[in-house]
A and B are shown apart, each in its own frame.
Chain A
Amino acid sequence: MKCRGDLRKYVVVGRELPNPKVPVPKMYKMTLYAPDYVTAKSRFWYFTRQLNKVKKTRGEIVQCDRVFEHGNQVKNYGIWLRYNSRSGTHNMYKEYRDLTSCGAVTQCYREMGGRHRARANAIHVIRIEEVAAEKTRRPPIKQFHNSKLAFPLARRVNRKLHTPRFTTARP
């Protein structure tokens, strides 16, 4: 998978195709985060194949719907994930502050890429949960749980120093 742009939340339901041995197969539902519905279906089969004895060739997707989220309030998200590093596979718990779970998961993928060089295809998001402020565990998240929070924007660098670099008008 490539974490392209902002990830979207999809609910995918699939099952094995009905056959003489199993006339009414079990349905498997997954909520996952993917850049588009095509990748969502692909990831569905990737995970379902690992957990159940069914493949895309022998199955069908019953439902693949996008779940829209409204972001009006800032929430704390706890993400449990598992990722493959160069020498092994590890579990992690990370926390993010964002307006939507999609935003939090996108943040997570970007951070994993930055801090651990983990590519999107090596990351499995196991679980994501909205966490109450008292139950958060990470100091960078807890520092924003202050109703009287106030900080200045110090060291405002002029990023437009060289646009334009040469000009006929005096600054």
Chain B
Amino acid sequence: MVFERYVEVGRVALVSCGPYKGKVCAIIDVIDQNRALVEGPSTKQGEEGVPRQAIRFKLLQLLPYKIKIAHTTRSKALKSAWDKESISTKWTTSIVCQKLDARKRRQLLTDFDRFKLMKTKQRRQRLIRLCMGPKPKDKANK
């Protein structure tokens, strides 16, 4: 099995657990077998990034993005390398990010929102059925 995503300086990773869950950061240095020094600029407006800290690899999910930085770069240099590769855009338009956001939104739905969702789905299905026309009777199952 060939590995494609490696833990290396500059690898972008998603934090899957803890106070910075769902946020994206870059590996600045490898501390030891279990931990990396990471830092992540904010990807969305109004949202904070991941401050510089040690995180265990168990809590990180490596992403297919990489930025070019030297080990233990300072925050400014990290941010300019991050923007150069437009990691924020790549991440927010990726399917994984969109699915995570959708999951979060679904969790925060109120009962009224779920009712509205049901009604919208119904309306959508009705329109689709009108477009498709009546279902033709299957010749095999007469």
Residue ranges of A at the interface with B (Cβ–Cβ < 8 Å): 71-74, 96-99, 103, 140, 144, 147-154, 159
Contacts and interface: CB of A to CB of B under 8 A. Distances in A.
Interface in B1-44: 3, 5-9, 29-33, 37
Name which of A147, A148, A150, A159 has the most chain B CB atoms within 10 A of its CB: A150
B7 A152 contact: yes
A171 B57 CA distance: 25
A148 B33 CA distance: 15
Interface of B: 3, 5-9, 29-33, 37, 52, 54, 57-58, 60, 62, 71-72
5 cross-chain pairs, A with B, having the tightest CB-CB distances, nearest first: A152-B3, A150-B8, A150-B6, A97-B32, A74-B29
Contacts of A97: 31-32
Given A74-B72, A147-B71, A152 B5 contact: yes
Contacts of B6: 150-152
Query: A interface, by DSSP: helix, strand, loop or mixed?
Result: loop
Contact of B31 (A99, A148, A159): A99
B111 to A, nearest CB: 19
Given A99-B31, A140-B33, 19 more contacts: A73-B29, A74-B29, A74-B30, A74-B31, A96-B32, A98-B31, A99-B37, A99-B54, A140-B32, A144-B31, A144-B32, A148-B8, A149-B9, A150-B6, A151-B7, A152-B3, A153-B5, A153-B60, A159-B58
B8 A74 contact: no
Contacts of A98: 31
Given A152-B3, A154-B3, A72 B52 contact: yes
B62 A153 contact: yes
A171 to B, nearest CB: 14
Given A150-B6, A151-B6, A152-B5, A73 B72 contact: yes
Nearest to B5: A152
Nearest to A99: B54
B8 A72 contact: no
Nearest to A98: B31
A150 B4 CA distance: 11
A150 B37 CA distance: 14
Nearest to A107: B32
B7 A72 contact: no
Contacts of B71: 147
B57 A144 contact: no
Contacts of B3: 152, 154
